[in-house]
Amino acid sequence: MIQIKNLYKSFGDLKVLKGVDLHVKAGQVVVIIGPSGSGKSTVLRCINKLEVPTSGTIIVDGYDIMDPETDINMVRTEATMVFQQFNLFPHMTVLDNVILGPIKVRGTSRPDAMRLGMELLNKVGLADKAGNFPEQLSGGQKQRVAIARSLALQPKAILFDEPTSALDPELVGEVLEVMKKLAREGMTMIVVTHEMGFAREVADRVIFIDQGKIQVDADPETFFATPENPRLMDFIGKVVSHT
Amino acid sequence: MAFEFEPSVMIESLPLLMGGAKITVILTVGGLFFGFILGAVAGMMKLSRNFFVRKLAGIYIESIRGTPMLVQAMFLYFGIPMALGIRIPAMVAGIIIISVNSGAYIAEIVRGAVQSINPGQSEAGRSIGLTHFQTMRYVVWPQAFRRMIPPLGNQFIISLKDTSLLMIIGVGELLRTGDEIVAVNFRSFEVYLTCGLVYLAMTLSIAKALKMLEKKMHILGK
Ligand SMILES: Nc1ncnc2c1ncn2[C@@H]1O[C@H](COP(=O)(O)OP(=O)(O)O)[C@@H](O)[C@H]1O
Ligand SMILES: [Mg+2]
């Protein structure tokens, strides 16, 4: 579904990614952890080309994103993104946030898009907020709307970039619940998070990124049971003692 | 002979002055309409990734903001016809001047407002597959436009006052009309005072309308 080969990304002189290889199969949930600044967001942002890779190949749903012939807007609808800061459109109602993509990108008629939008809001438990503006919602509700907005394009995969990091602790659960539901339904997901509980419970694979490379790539049991990598041990120690 | 204030002159000159005020309003509204289009284009060009596009907009903005409007008006109305041999009607020249002049200031308003929108907004737009243009159209511009309203209102007031400079090229706007009345009745005190009051009435109305608009926008959500 998503294949990354030998991905390099630099910002000026700063080499952030130094040869990342990652193959995510359809239906897999891959959790990425790693220290702040290690390039986790950059990996996700290269997948939908919000950042242009310096070199390497990325194939999403069979499309080579580096190929100038590829319609990148189309690829983005197949691997949508959920951001740490939600990035809801503040001038639109919740429902309009959700149906903008279907209407403008997919060409869905407004009534059909509204039906789909309400269905998705219902799924994330926010059907009653359809007519509200984002500023009237809590952080957890905002993020659930953002998830509905990504789902509205009926993507093949969703990229989550620390979806719960901006939330008050008591609001984290409601967002993780929605994500777990998606995982159970077979959605392909790449999730950057510090929520180790989520990783253990939901992930098919957990990946540790550090110093621009994937250091560990294993199923959660192996990953957490025997962290051989000293930097990973150190990192897990910090995250666990932190939470 | 001592000066004697004659309020009746003010009342008598008012109908003619109102005719001039009408021209002032036409110049301002027409000029700002085209000025906004120019400013929007130049403002977006200023944000372009292409160096030459940015540069081109920069030259326009700097050269207009760096020269007096009076010079621009005289150049367009007297200078250009001399070179090209065509005469532009004064009213048309007036609207062009206001457009080109306000456009340079509006460009900076547009650029600033668009830049002030969190980049996360356009990233979110792009991430659901909107094109660059659609992202601007549906996500960035509606938010940026709200932020443009106060400075645009301010520009409205500035441009309205600037139209008085167009008397130099013979546009029959408010101040020119006052001037013509004074040429006949020599009551400069009353007539120019009335002119000033009419300008004030117009600028205060704009300011008031703006306040109401801002309030309404606020209620409609951010
Ligand atoms: N647009 C950018 N320009 C310059 N440097 C950037 C940019 N985006 C990220 N970086 C740098 O790249 C590194 C990795 O960033 P990021 O991928 O956001 O890390 P993480 O998500 O793991 O915290 C950081 O040092 C960050 O400062
Ligand atoms: Mg990050």
What are the pLDDT digits (tens) for A5-59?
A: 999 999 999 999 999 999 999 999 999 999 999 999 999 999 999 999 999 999 9
Local structure of B3: helix, strand or coil:
coil
- In whole angstroms, what is the distance from residue B6 CA to residue B109 CA? 44
CB A202 within 8 A of CB A179: yes
B48: phi then psi, degrees, rounded to nearest 5: -65, 155
Give B127's contacts in chain A (Cβ within 8 Å).
Answer: 48, 50, 76, 80-81, 83, 150
- In whole angstroms, what is the distance from residue B201 CA to residue B124 CA? 45
End-to-end, the C-alpha distance of chain B in Å comes to: 62
Asked if A90 lies within 8 A of B139 by C-beta distance, the reply is no
Give tens-digit pLDDT for A72-82.
999 999 999 99
Q: What is the mean pLDDT of residues A166-176?
A: 95
Q: Among A147, A56, A62, which residue's Cα sits nearest to residue A97?
A: A147
Q: Hey, of B128, B132, B218, which one would you mutate to test binding to chain A, going by the most A CBs within 10 A of its CB?
A: B128
Give B134's contacts in chain A (Cβ within 8 Å).
Answer: 104-105
Copy the structure tokens of residue B86: 């065509």
- Given CA atoms A90, A94, A96, A99 in this order, what sign does their dihedral have? positive
- In whole angstroms, what is the distance from residue B88 CA to residue B76 CA? 9
Residue-level pLDDT at B218: 72
Give tens-digit pLDDT for B36-65.
999 999 999 999 999 999 999 999 999 999
Residue-level pLDDT at B15: 96
Residue B128, chain A, CB below 8 Å: the answer is yes
Q: What is the mean pLDDT of chain A?
A: 93
Question: Is the pLDDT score of A92 beyond 50?
Answer: yes
Pocket probe for ligand 1: among A16, A31, A85, A160, the residue whose CB has the most ligand atoms within 8 Å is: A16
Residue-level pLDDT at A232: 82
> Model pTM?
0.87
Q: What is the mean pLDDT of chain B?
A: 94
Ligand approaching nearest to the C-alpha of A32: 1
Copy the structure tokens of residue B37: 């289009």
Local structure of B192: helix, strand or coil:
helix
Give tens-digit pLDDT for B126-145.
999 999 999 999 999 999 99
**Which residue would you say has higher pLDDT here, B80 or A226?**
B80
Local structure of A187: helix, strand or coil:
coil
CB A116 within 8 A of CB A99: yes
Ligand approaching nearest to the C-alpha of A212: 1
Asked if A87 lies within 8 A of B139 by C-beta distance, the reply is no
Give B120's contacts in chain A (Cβ within 8 Å).
Answer: 83, 85, 87
Q: What is the mean pLDDT of residues A133-160?
A: 96
Instruction: Decide: A40 in ligand 1 pocket, CB within 6 A.
Output: yes
Q: What is the mean pLDDT of residues B101-121?
A: 97
Residue-level pLDDT at A242: 55
* b/e code A50-65 from CB counts within 10 Å (16+ = b): bbebeebebbbbebeb
- The backbone region for B211, taken as left when phi is positive above 0, alpha when psi lies in -120 to 50, beta otherwise, is alpha
Which residues are within 8 A (CB) of B59 and not within 5 positions of it... i.e. 6 or more apart?
Answer: none
* pLDDT band with cut points at 50, 70 and 90 for residue B222: very low
Q: What is the mean pLDDT of residues B12-22?
A: 96
Asked if B130 lies within 8 A of A90 by C-beta distance, the reply is no
Asked if A105 lies within 8 A of B130 by C-beta distance, the reply is yes
Copy the structure tokens of residue A108: 């869905």
Residue B2, chain A, CB below 8 Å: the answer is no
Q: Comparing A43-57, A117-131, A213-227, which segment has the lowest mean pLDDT?
A: A213-227
Residue B5, chain A, CB below 8 Å: the answer is no
- In whole angstroms, what is the distance from residue B67 CA to residue B101 CA? 10
Q: What is the mean pLDDT of residues B198-216?
A: 94
Pocket probe for ligand 1: among A7, A8, A10, A11, the residue whose CB has the most ligand atoms within 8 Å is: A11
Asked if A100 lies within 8 A of B138 by C-beta distance, the reply is yes
Residue-level pLDDT at A240: 64
Question: Is the pLDDT score of B221 beyond 60?
Answer: no
